[in-house]
Structure 1
Amino acid sequence: MAKRIFIWVGHPRSESLSAGLADAYQKAAEAAGAETRRMNLHDMDFDVDLTDGYHARKTLEPCLETWRENILWADHLAWFYPQWWGGMPAKMKGVLDRAFLPGFAMNYHEHDAFWDKLLTGRSADVFITADAPGWFDRLIYARPAGRQVERLVMKFSGIKPVRTFQFGTVKAAKPEKIRHWLDVAARRGTQIVRR
């Protein structure tokens, strides 16, 4: 059976390095035999507000329903986004706030502090771009964007293993460096299918 990969570009702009990395990954994965589905954050129209938290659920907009269907369909996720202020863009976080909810991603236990992980059986690749060099982000900030998505989103809901690739410094990257990053994404797209 072909590998089923859900690719999500979490950059709010239509043209970005995140989208270019996703293009390279998707093309290589499909060439290696994967089935892919893709969503781009800039195409998603929904209300990011979750004023009442988990106490009063809003009806999910069609794009959020489709996003959830794609996660359930996939056996592997590939997310591409920039690190902004130590985390993901606000609109991307809005998708998680609205759609990655109890009953879908996890179920909290009523009488203890634990939870059931509802998305087990899936793995993930995460590609983060940043203006800080990777060594600086690790040493000074302890990788906040990577830790957030790896531990508090993916593994929290049972998605593992998670492999994170972080590229920076983007603002000073020369064309040959960007080509190298695109090659890394393409190689990973091939590897994940053949593994």
Structure 2
Amino acid sequence: MKNLQAKNIAVIYAYPNDSGFNSAIFSTVEKNIHPRHHVKVIDLYQDNFHPVLYFDNIHKRRDLQFDSEVEEYREIVSWASHLIFIFPIWWGGMPAILKGFVDRVFAKGFAYEYKGVIPIGLLKNKTGWIITTHDTPSLYVKLMQHDYGRVLKKQILKMCGITPTAFHTMSFLRYKKEKSRKRFLEQLTRKAQKI
């Protein structure tokens, strides 16, 4: 039987063009999440998120978990039981604004800690769904073993205790015909409706 329990869902969106395909992905996912769920959107470009991590004699690295500039984002991540990341792959990895979000928000003491040399995730009982696009042929991605969203999945979410439950990517986007793009959005629609 389908799980009818309401979830707290945070959509973390990193794309600057309102008319691009990633915008269509975001709209498709957001409108197909069942209304019983509670959804909060973090649109990093719309928020003008400042991605530069800094620490000095006054702002200590060990105190990043208390950084008041990103407190609102930590609260949303804490609140959410399911996180959805939507972003394009640029230069083999996530956009700088999203990497900066991870650097500043997923800080030690908030998202993880160490027991000896072993990292322990502090964001347990949360799941994650990653949706990416890129212009690289999928065979090249497999052969070259670049990031292409895997770092977020394996080295960030898992390390922080978040269980990645789905990973969708559209490769070679600039050469995809409308039919393929539509099929991808339909796949995301079905996935969003099943949350």
TM class by shorter-chain length? 0.7 to 0.9
Q: Counterpart in 2 of 1:54?
A: 61
Q: Counterpart in 1 of 2:37?
A: 34
* Alignment partner of 1:186 out of 164, 189, 195: 189
Q: CA deviation at 1:25?
A: 1.3
Q: Within 2, Cα distance between the matches of 1:84 and 1:23?
A: 21
Structure 1 pair 131–107 and aligned structure 2 pair: CA distance change class (3 A): same
Q: CA deviation at 1:77?
A: 0.8
Q: Is the 8 A contact 1:11 1:92 kept in 2?
A: no
Residues 146-165 of structure 1 mapped to structure 2, 5 A cutoff: 146-165=149-168
Q: CA deviation at 1:14?
A: 3.7
Q: Which runs of 4+ in 1 moved over 6 A?
A: none
Q: Is the 8 A contact 1:150 1:162 kept in 2?
A: no
Give TM-score, length-normalised by structure 1: 0.86
Aligned with 2:34: secondary structure?
helix
Structure 1 pair 16–70 and aligned structure 2 pair: CA distance change class (3 A): farther
Aligned with 2:128: secondary structure?
strand
Q: Is the 8 A contact 2:12 2:41 kept in 1?
A: yes
Larger mean Cα displacement after TM superposition, 148-157 or 165-174: 165-174
RMSD: 2.0
Q: Counterpart in 2 of 1:136?
A: 140
Q: Which residue identity is paired with 1:94?
A: G
Q: Within 2, Cα distance between the matches of 1:152 and 1:17?
A: 27
Q: CA deviation at 1:99?
A: 1.2
Larger mean Cα displacement after TM superposition, 87-96 or 45-54: 45-54
Q: Counterpart in 2 of 1:25?
A: 29
Q: Is the 8 A contact 1:14 1:42 kept in 2?
A: no
More helix by share: 1
Residues 7-156 of structure 1 mapped to structure 2, 5 A cutoff: 7-31=11-35, 33-52=36-55, 54=61, 57=64, 59-61=67-69, 64-109=70-115, 112-138=116-142, 140-156=143-159
Q: Is the 8 A contact 1:60 1:98 kept in 2?
A: no
Q: Is the 8 A contact 1:125 1:163 kept in 2?
A: yes
Q: CA deviation at 1:55?
A: 5.2
- The percentage of counterpart residues that share the same residue type is 25
Q: CA deviation at 1:158?
A: 0.6
Q: Deviations over 1:107-133 (max 9, x none)?
A: 123xx2112210110111100100012
Give TM-score, length-normalised by structure 2: 0.86
Greater RCO structure (CA 8 Å; 6+ sep): 1
Q: Within 2, Cα distance between the matches of 1:135 and 1:4?
A: 36
- Structure 1: gaps of 5 or more residues: none
Q: Within 2, Cα distance between the matches of 1:153 and 1:16?
A: 27
